[in-house]
Amino acid sequence: MNKLKFKAAVVGFAALALGLTAVSASAQCDSGEVVVKLSHVTGGTTHPKVVASNNLAERVNKELNGEMCVEVYPNSTLFGDSKELEALLLGDVQLLAPSLSKFGSYTPKLGIYDLPFLFKDMDQAIRFMTAEKGKELLNSMSDVGFVGLGYWLSGMKYFSANKPLLVPSDAEGLKFRVQTSDVAKAMISAMGASPQPMAFAEVYGALQTGVVDGQENTWSNIYTKKFFEVQDSTTETSHQVLAYLFMTSTDFLESLKPDVREKFLAICDSVTMEANESVKAKEETNKQNIIKSGGKINELTPEQRKEWVDAMKPVWKQFEKGIGADYIEAASKS
Ligand code: SIN
């Protein structure tokens, strides 16, 4: 990395620490380098996606110095949920890591990751993602022009609201923000509550003003987006896994010189492996950060957990055809 780029990267990380906007400006990249914009919607400094994105930029900017240069735009500062996939196809951004729950308009198959209580923990999800069927799903949207470079795990999801949610009937009549996922909508309806799809950037305000009563997310998102400040408590339901499709477009990948593409893909694999190895520790840190900051967490008894599982299991049948029974079976056995 040359001196100018090193300086710019340091400024970028300082900006992140202060919660400011984009990490970079194009001035960081030397002329002649392929400039790669990585846009995502999460924030803070301890979030798994923030760390993985910054690692990727650091590695590419060092190991492919002079050939390729990655700029990271966190916190929906370049594109938010609603525009980023379209922007990738238009070539306005080259790398994204959207939640797997946000691809419903392109494929029903990734709905597997939203099936409630299919993945008991992150280890089971990783086993599925790294086995044959999981790898196949990485490229379930190749007809659209999307290329899955890897899965970045974020954590298990938990429900929060302004009252303890110990059994599904506690959620009856409440409004929950969900991602744009038909499976998530069906799951909330199965709880007798109403789903409100909404972009991630709008969730804090919607919870604060009472537009919605609750939400579901990982410890890392609940902490870094401060949802715990505007919710009485979060319940350790672990009802779904939240993971990202670290992705690019066929057009971008094909535009690279073969040797650059090969080195770039090797860095992507290595960053992905490292991200998934450290994700559990990051989730635990952010759970402890919530507790230290005064957030309240409710645990479930085995009987209460069974009530959640029983209420949500019928949702699987509804989506089995679109996802594929073979994928669901493989995930269950992972
Ligand atoms: C993310 O972690 O990228 C956002 C998840 C959400 O929309 O809840």
Query: Who's near 109: CB < 8 A, 6+ residues apart?
Result: 137, 140, 322, 323, 324, 327
Query: Who's near 138: CB < 8 A, 6+ residues apart?
Result: 148, 149, 150, 151, 245
Q: Which residues of 52-94 form beta strands (DSSP E)?
A: 68-73
72/149 same-domain check: yes
82/200 same-domain check: no
Residue 25, domain extent:
7-107+122-154+243-288
80/34 same-domain check: yes
pLDDT average, residue stretch 133-153 = 97
40/75 same-domain check: yes
Specify the number of domains making up the chain: 2
Do the domain assignments include residue 265? yes
217/315 same-domain check: yes
Among protein residues, the one whose CA lies closest to atom 6 of ligand 1? 200
189/262 same-domain check: no
Give the rounded percent of residues in the chain with a pLDDT score beyond 70. Answer: 92
234/251 same-domain check: no
CB 43 within 8 A of CB 19: yes
284/198 same-domain check: no
Q: How confident is the model at residue 28 (pLDDT cuts 50, 70, 90)?
A: confident
286 close to ligand 1 (CB < 6 Angstrom): no
Do the domain assignments include residue 2? no
Indicate the residue among 288, 308, 323 that finishes a domain: 288
Do the domain assignments include residue 116? no
Q: Check which CATH number belongs to the domain holding 145 and give it.
A: 3.40.190.170
* pTM, full prediction: 0.89
The residue assigned the tokens 């070539």 is 91
Average confidence score pLDDT of the chain: 91
- Which atom of ligand 1 lies closest to the CA of 199? 7
147/162 same-domain check: no
Token pair for residue 298?
């409710």
CA 243 to ligand 1 center in whole angstroms: 9
CA 42 to ligand 1 center in whole angstroms: 7
Do the domain assignments include residue 117? no
- Which atom of ligand 1 lies closest to the CA of 215? 8
- Which atom of ligand 1 lies closest to the CA of 154? 2
318/216 same-domain check: yes
Q: What is the pLDDT of residues 54-65, one digit of tens each?
A: 999 999 999 999
End-to-end CA distance of the chain: 41
Q: What is the pLDDT of residues 77-119, one digit of tens each?
A: 999 998 999 999 999 999 999 999 999 999 999 999 999 999 9
Q: How confident is the model at residue 12 (pLDDT cuts 50, 70, 90)?
A: very low
- Cα distance between residue 114 and residue 323, in whole Å: 11
216/324 same-domain check: yes
CB 307 within 8 A of CB 241: no
89/176 same-domain check: no
